[in-house]
Amino acid sequence: MSKIYNVAIMGATGAVGNCFLRILEERRFPVENIRLLASERSKGKKLKFNGKLYPIEVLTHDSFGGIDLVLASAGASRSLEFLPSAVKAGAVCVDNSSAFRMEKDVPLVVPEVNSHRIKEHKGIIANPNCSTIQMVVALWPIHRIAKIKRIVVTTFQSVSGAGQKKVLELWKQSKLFLAKKRIIPVEFSHRIAFNLIPQIDIFLDNAYTKEEMKIVNETRKIMEDASIQINATCVRVPVFYAHSESVNLETERHITADEVRKILSKAPGVRVIDDPNKQAYPMPADAEGRDEVFVGRIRDDLSIENGISMWIVSDNIRKGAALNAIQIAEYLVK
């Protein structure tokens, strides 16, 4: 790669794509030229980057000439179809989708955990699912010291995790609900305003959802430990931004809540907010727009010998998607 980079954003008009633009600006990523790619639907639109308007171009196999870095967030089928062309054209791709995450020769990276894998890439580096990212940032420092044997996680995932249209749907439904008008769900399978939906993505044959099994399989790959037992329940909640997780751990070595608090207060990317006397704990409203993974409600599990419970919150569009991918890109250019 040269010193200033030609960057393409695949899915530039989406929730994650927009966040890519803002974070590249904020972190002064060395961009020479930027190419904004989306579907036919966005033909004629323009988006601002570093004070200049750029046209949206329709994504094709020829979109990658002269491009050094592709940040992809146009969905898994687009990644499967177009990233091989980008690699052929000489670009390195950081992919936000699930398309290549579990491929053996594709690194699946959360820089706070396994940045050493980045250099093994063959053109594509995968960004994990947002729920996996925030969980492993908080759990990796504990795993290193006490070896996690089992994780039971319940997620509370904001609507933005499912894309821009779902954010609008929550707005619309909330207004209708408060006006006591009839709600016909369009984007979600059920009403999301003033409700919870215990299903994210499709159900698999084992009665878990695809989102739940992503957490299981991706966590094992990132933490390089196939022996960790993981049970996940993913729930969509009427929150606009930031995902929350209730996590219970069983460790091989005994570790106290106080020790966990100390370890996490020094861990990269983590911010501990945990003072029950002041009713201080992480909440999605405070995590929105922030880069950290927030951890609180750290407590000993009274029901087993080596157990810890905690509450983890992070902005799903930033650390859960765009920021993690740009941190990977920063390692690439280093």
Angstrom distances, CA of residue 174 to CA of 55, 158, 246 = 34, 14, 26
Residue selected from 97, 244, 306, 309 as contacting ligand 3JN according to rule CB under 6 A: 97
Alpha-carbon gap, residue 109 to 325, rounded angstroms: 9
How many residues in the chain? 334
Looking at the Cβ atoms of 201 and 300, the one nearer to ligand NAP is 201
What DSSP assignment string belongs to 182-197?
----SSSSS--TT--B
Kindly state whether residue 163 participates in binding ligand NAP, applying the rule CB under 6 A: yes
Q: Which of residues 290-329 bind ligand 3JN (CB under 6 A)?
A: 316
Is the Cβ–Cβ distance between 8 and 33 less than 8 Å? no
Kindly state whether residue 84 participates in binding ligand NAP, applying the rule CB under 6 A: no
Looking at the Cβ atoms of 215 and 260, the one nearer to ligand NAP is 215
Kindly state whether residue 107 participates in binding ligand NAP, applying the rule CB under 6 A: no
Alpha-carbon gap, residue 207 to 175, rounded angstroms: 34
Q: Which of residues 114-143 bind ligand NAP (CB under 6 A)?
A: 127, 129-130
Q: What is the nearest approach in angstroms of ligand NAP to the Cβ of residue 117? A: 17
Looking at the Cβ atoms of 130 and 192, the one nearer to ligand NAP is 130
Q: Which residues pair with 35 in a beta bridge?
A: 8
The piece of 31-39, 62-70, 156-164, 174-182 that touches ligand 3JN (CB under 6 A) is 156-164
Kindly state whether residue 19 participates in binding ligand 3JN, applying the rule CB under 6 A: no
Residue selected from 98, 134, 173, 209 as contacting ligand 3JN according to rule CB under 6 A: 98
Angstrom distances, CA of residue 9 to CA of 38, 157, 330 = 8, 25, 15
Strands (E), the chain: 5-10, 31-38, 46-49, 52-58, 69-72, 92-95, 124-126, 148-157, 229-236, 243-251, 270-272, 293-300, 307-314
Kindly state whether residue 78 participates in binding ligand NAP, applying the rule CB under 6 A: yes
The piece of 61-69, 103-111, 140-148, 158-166 that touches ligand NAP (CB under 6 A) is 158-166
Alpha-carbon gap, residue 166 to 188, rounded angstroms: 8
Residue 107 in 3-state DSSP?
coil
* Nearest by Cα to 94 from 107, 85, 105, 104: 107
- β-pairing verdict for 5-10 and 31-38: parallel
Alpha-carbon gap, residue 22 to 37, rounded angstroms: 16
Catalytic residue among 19, 93, 130, 234: 130
For residue 130, indicate whether it is catalytic.
Answer: yes
Residue selected from 29, 64, 70, 97 as contacting ligand NAP according to rule CB under 6 A: 97
Kindly state whether residue 8 participates in binding ligand NAP, applying the rule CB under 6 A: no
257 interacts with, out of ligand NAP, ligand 3JN, none, CB within 5 to 8 A per kind: none
Is the Cβ–Cβ distance between 134 and 319 less than 8 Å? yes
Kindly state whether residue 14 participates in binding ligand 3JN, applying the rule CB under 6 A: no
For residue 243, indicate whether it is catalytic.
Answer: yes
Residues that are catalytic: 130, 243
Residues lying near ligand 3JN in the complex (CB under 6 A): 75-76, 97-98, 129-130, 157, 161-162, 200, 214, 316
Residues lying near ligand NAP in the complex (CB under 6 A): 11-17, 38-39, 41-42, 59, 73-76, 78, 96-97, 127, 129-130, 161, 163-164, 320-321
